[in-house]
Chain A
Amino acid sequence: MSTSAITTPDKPAAPRAGAGKLGWLVPAIVTGGLFPAVVLAARAARGDLGANPIAEAMNQLGLLALVHLVLSLAATPLQIVTGWKWPIRIRKSLGLLGFFYVCAHFLVYALVDQSLALRAILEDITKRPFILVGFAAFVLLLPLAATSTAKALKRMGFARWKRLHRLAYVVAILGVVHFVMRVKKDVTEPAIYGAVLAGLFLIRIMDGVRKRGNKRG
């Protein structure tokens, strides 16, 4: 806090955008969201990821990606249901955390699992539907991450930006499908994520219907 210590009492530092009473929230979410990556890296360095550490790392990173994407999609429905404003403040951070984990998942796959064997990777993507679905989710996330800034939103205009960012639902659905296709038989866990997504989607549809009804009325 040495930088703010030179602020004179009569001229307080202007609060940063998004600060104020909830200024701690976004840093807390980002710190908490990155914590599993730190734990994973530490366990990998210690050789404590079990017999098949590469598969274990990919599984954890993939699941972390899906959890963050679903959490970011839960923000608006939570706000609709409860009226709280704070979920909207962390929506972007959660989405970017999801993107971070998708990238890490893909990098471990390409660099470590496949040793950057481009032919094998291309063959995987084109021939194996399960890899194709995961890769499609990754590619669709790129424009969302690129337009996650306030500047991009202003440049695009809110309506267009909003339409583009509806892709987040498609990405999460692709993530669940990728998960379902990966498991050998037991689909319980991916089904749970699928059910949560469906529930979130339902809240948004019902809210949309209600709003349209209000307008007409």
Chain B
Amino acid sequence: MRRLPPPPPSSEITPEARYLRRREILKSAGLFVGTAAAMGTGLVALTGRGRRANVTAEPLPPELLAPPASATPPAPSGSPAVRNPFTTDEPRTPYEDVTTYNNYYELGLDKEDPARNAKTLKPRPWTVVFEGEIKKPQRVDIETLLKWFPLEERVYRMRCVETWSMVIPWLGFPLGKLLERLEPTSRAKYVAFNTLMDPEQLPFQLTDVLEWPYREGLRLDEAMHPLTILAAGLYGKSLPGQNGAPLRLVVPWKYGFKGVKSIVRIALVEKEPETSWHMAAPREYGFYANVNPAVAHPRWSQAMERRIGDLEKRPTLPFNGYAEEVAHLYADMDLRMYY
């Protein structure tokens, strides 16, 4: 015969009052869980963040790429390494970070929005207009333009005015070569760039965050400098939309906002062109926008920067570490005034 289990100790017997209130207790428990869950998920939805977009990009056709630079002869042992400003050997920022942490307001204001919204931007077919003070004004299809000059890899530091930085392997060609081909007239003093104006492809152009289309500019000598490139790719692949497909400016010694994206117009002009951030907040963003740790942004210091992926900040270098190459362009200028 099986024995009955022992009766539960009296301490485990549910008190009668509690037994009678069981519905009320259940109801309270339900309200607790429901309210906590609603508040918790509501707050996370309001202040949290979604998943990063998955970024895929087309490889660039190999015929567009420059042959890999013939290996420079090894420096004689004991001699200091040769400085190559065109390729820094600092660790590269991972592809995922370069392509999901972007300022491209036409595709959304938060850093991860452009990667999510870039689908609307169609980088083909694409035409770029060259006009102004040049002897050969013309409209050129992007496919043709990319065949004019072989794409070279340039590994540059990129310093954002918001005090973060990256190291990005771009694929591009020197802007100077293009300008030579277009033959600037003697009146050309500056180069003006425009981003595409098309709210269907760049939906945030319907807002008035900035004056659209996005405008940038360079002095002619800055534009002709061998460090200045027009990029069509990064990490060996074509530029994703959020990075400025199909063609963008890269000027590594200037703050990132000078790097105008998705360019449709390049004009040589006589006078300093208006630029979008300068128009929006002239006291905060100058035309030159050279990386300068000594000149603070009115609301934050520019002395330090956080390299994406690092925990600790590092000191920001004058001209973003390219002073040896470019400081002479500004030899007689007060950089506190021309920030």
> Quick one: CB contact mask for B164-175 with A, threshold 8 Å, 1 for yes?
100000000000
**Which of B11-19, B72-80, B136-144 lies at the interface with chain A?**
B11-19
Interface residues of B in 88-143 (CB under 8 A from A): 93, 96-97, 100-101, 105, 109, 111-112
Interface residues of B in 178-232 (CB under 8 A from A): 207, 209-210
Closest 6 interchain pairs by CB? A32-B39, A35-B40, A51-B101, A51-B97, A28-B35, A24-B32
> Cα distance A63–B108 when bound, in Å?
19
B residues apposed to A, CB below 8 Å: 11-12, 14-18, 28-29, 31-44, 46-49, 52, 93, 96-97, 100-101, 105, 109, 111-112, 162, 164, 207, 209-210, 280-281, 296, 299-301, 304, 306, 308-309, 311-313
A35 and B28: CB pair below 8 A? no
Residues of A with C-beta under 8 A to B33: 28
**A9-B16, A51-B100, A67-B46 are known contacts. Are A115 and B299 too (CB-CB below 8 A)?**
no
**A60-B48, A63-B47 are known contacts. Are A52 and B36 too (CB-CB below 8 A)?**
no
**A6-B11, A9-B16, A186-B109 are known contacts. Are A32 and B38 too (CB-CB below 8 A)?**
yes
Residues of A with C-beta under 8 A to B32: 24, 27-28, 31
- Measured CB to CB, the closest approach of chain A to B19, in angstroms, equals 9
Does A143 have its Cβ within 8 Å of any Cβ on chain B?
no
- Please count how many residues in chain A sit with their CB below 8 Å of the partner chain's CB atoms: 48
A115 and B312: CB pair below 8 A? yes
> Cα distance A8–B17 when bound, in Å?
9
Does A199 have its Cβ within 8 Å of any Cβ on chain B?
no
B48 and A24: CB pair below 8 A? no
B162 and A184: CB pair below 8 A? yes
A residues apposed to B, CB below 8 Å: 4-9, 12, 23-25, 27-29, 31-33, 35-36, 39-40, 43, 49-52, 54-56, 60, 63-64, 67, 112-115, 120, 123-124, 127-130, 181-182, 184-186
Label chain A's interface by main secondary structure.
helix
Residues of B with C-beta under 8 A to A128: 299-301
Residues of B with C-beta under 8 A to A56: 49
> Cα distance A120–B241 when bound, in Å?
37
B15 and A5: CB pair below 8 A? yes
A60 and B49: CB pair below 8 A? yes
